[in-house]
A and B are shown apart, each in its own frame.
Chain A
Amino acid sequence: MSWEITGMSAVCALGDTVADIHGALSAGESGLAPVSTFDASKYRGGVAYEVPDRTRPGVDEPLRATRWLVHVVREALADAGLPEPEPGTPVFVGTTHREMRTAELWWQHDAPLSPADLHFTSALRSAFGLHNVQTVASACAASLYGLGMGTDLMALGEADTVVVAGTDSITESSFGGFDRIQSPPPDTIRAFDRSRRGMIMGEGAVAVVLRRAGTHPGRVHGRVRGVSMNCDASHPTAPDSAGVVRAITDAHERAAIAPDDIDLVVVHGSGTPQSDLAETVALREVFKAAEPGPLVTAIKGGMGHISGGAGLMNLVVALEAIRTRSLPPVSDLTDPIEEASELRVVSGEPATGRFATAQVHAVGMGGINAVAIAEGAAR
């Protein structure tokens, strides 16, 4: 079984279309900049990958994550030729922080808050009449969890079309919390590099429209072949490579493919010592018999960790890499860790080639993992 991706859209620090974001990643651009609305004197590290959309520089605004979500859903629906979707179309919104940034402003008496602001039904209902909205808050695996739930609904025969999205704006509480535990603070995200010091927050949103294969006569961006979702259940914060291996293997089984069929992997690659190591060990295990094995890249060095949408962003960038035959490199990777030496990690320049099948990861805090397998439009 497979599901066609007929529309997609994304926004982050690097741009507001999938093509622009892929282009910026390929050119080695970075959206990293000094934080614009938090008091930098309170932090060791004062940088983040923000979406530069505030009306007044330096003054924060409520409901930015909601605003981006509405934007990307509108763009993805238009891209899919469905500007006025059926009101009951299921929508899955993956998010780590929901509108907790708005809650923070409310707590400091800088913005109003109603309970309905904390989920995304009311905004999508107002904008598109969509009421069947699920706000999936499964940490940074959330948007791929949404993708799995959406494909499940189609497999159950309960929907022919679903919208899957992810959105998050940077919260000051998490920005401060990561600043507290990462010392010295990372200057940028260096996935797989010996000198990596941790994760830096990003923000943005991403959306795709999925349709049951054969129901859409027009152009497709690619196909989702299978999505796994699981939990390490082994440590409160540190990822476990065994859980990641199970997620990858399960995704392969669902997609009915073998490790040799995977051309490229976009890893979670958050640049933390433990998470990168767990993913590397997992990839070595899964692809040990594959020859030559897939190309491996990570995109957070360009856009930061956009949290709930991160997994789905990996997916749309992978599809764009397949379409353009150009896979962006891991940024700032000069001295790879020993464990990655057997992997074909892309660094320096984009890797070019005729790619068909991609594997994308999301490894969330709490050991919450999801892996998706997708193929490009041309089989």
Chain B
Amino acid sequence: MNARASVRTAITGVGWAVAGPDFDPATALAGKGMRHKDRASRFAVRVAQRTLEDAGLLDVPELEGAAVVVSSNFGNLDPVCDSITTIATGRSADISPMRLPQLSSAVSAAWVALNHGIRGPNLTLSNGTSSGLDAVAAARNLIAVGRATAALVIGVEPDSPSVARLHRETAGARWIDGAVGLVLEPVQQAADRGARIRAEITGYGKADDGPSAVRAAGGPAAPRRLGDEATERYGRCSGALGVVQCALAVERMEDEPVLAVAGAGTGESDGTSVSALVLAPPLGRDT
């Protein structure tokens, strides 16, 4: 038996921090510790708290061995563009020192790790529209090979002047402003600690085209395919897309497996690659 088959992975927590009727960024992203953070990191920090809480893992010592996996394509675009404007209209001395960490694509993942003492792998993926599903799969791998006891996966895309300009120039009319989180952990561990197992990840594939990705994920066996609900609800989700899809699928999980596809052939694509992921209802304990 290979390592993959020996570690079944469960989703045990879901969290939302997306601008909308239930979440007003003006108030929800303010407060202690937020002042010097970029918008993506503020969303990520908020959703990390909510997701860990949902999984019953907030402030537990076991988190030290966990991983943080963030998916984002535009997270640091605004700090970069804003700094360029600062330099163009003045000089480097006009840049706030607080800006420097924000220029890194990895800044949101680092803040989340720091806030919760998560000392395992700290991964940021920026793979385009497939990135969110790829992040869930990467988290599953980190658990399967024993690098992480659990993983907090966050998809985050902040709205900002530069993000808005890029979407508008590429025929985008609506786009997400927020973050969504998932907690992944081994099924056995979740069962042992009495956690509520919301779903199991049973397959993943990445390919040049939709049908091949679905095949690689073992998808045809899943009777229900998640449609374009994520994009219909929020507009373009970009790096958050796959995480939003998983969160929606988990919250509506019934007694059938669900297939999520991100990339070509869905409501949102950047024309590069397609990823597919299969989520199944809790399968019960190993016998």
Contact = CB atoms under 8 A, between A and B. Distances in A.
Same complex for A and B? Answer yes
Contacts of A145: 121, 123
B119 A232 contact: yes
A69 to B, nearest CB: 14
B105 interface: yes
A107 B124 CA distance: 24
Interface in B64-95: 68, 73-74, 76-77, 79-81, 83-88, 90-93, 95
A178 B100 contact: yes
Given A173-B84, A366-B101, A231 B119 contact: yes
Interface stretch (B15-23, B24-32, B253-261, B266-274): B266-274
Contacts of B283: none
A54 to B, nearest CB: 19
Contacts of A309: none
Contacts of A78: none
Contacts of A87: 208
A376 to B, nearest CB: 26
Contact of A173 (B80, B105, B121, B206): B80
B225 interface: no
A180 interface: yes
A242 B106 CA distance: 21
Given A113-B166, A137-B125, A172 B3 contact: no
Contact of B106 (A131, A138, A180, A230): A138
Interface in A121-169: 121-122, 125, 131-139, 142, 145, 148-149, 152-153, 155-158
Interface in A309-357: none
Interface residues of A, number: 71
Contacts of A119: 73, 126-128, 131, 272
A229 B104 CA distance: 18
A114 interface: yes
A179 B93 CA distance: 8
Contacts of B88: 108
Contacts of B106: 96, 137-139, 142, 364-366, 368
B111 interface: yes
Nearest to A113: B166
A236 interface: yes
Interface in B124-146: 124-128, 131, 134, 138, 141-142, 144-145
A233 B271 contact: no
Contacts of B188: none
Candidate in B141, B147, B169 with the most chain A CB atoms within 10 angstroms: B147
A174 interface: yes
A231 B73 contact: no
B239 to A, nearest CB: 9
Given A116-B128, A179-B92, A236-B114, A156 B144 contact: yes
Contacts of B287: none
Contacts of B272: 116, 119, 121-122, 125, 131, 133
Nearest to A151: B145
Interface of B: 2-4, 68, 73-74, 76-77, 79-81, 83-88, 90-93, 95-97, 99-101, 103-107, 109-111, 113-114, 116-128, 131, 134, 138, 141-142, 144-145, 147, 162, 166, 169-170, 206-208, 238, 270-273
Interface of A: 41-44, 87-88, 95-98, 100, 103-104, 106-108, 113-116, 118-119, 121-122, 125, 131-139, 142, 145, 148-149, 152-153, 155-158, 171-181, 229-237, 243, 246, 364-368
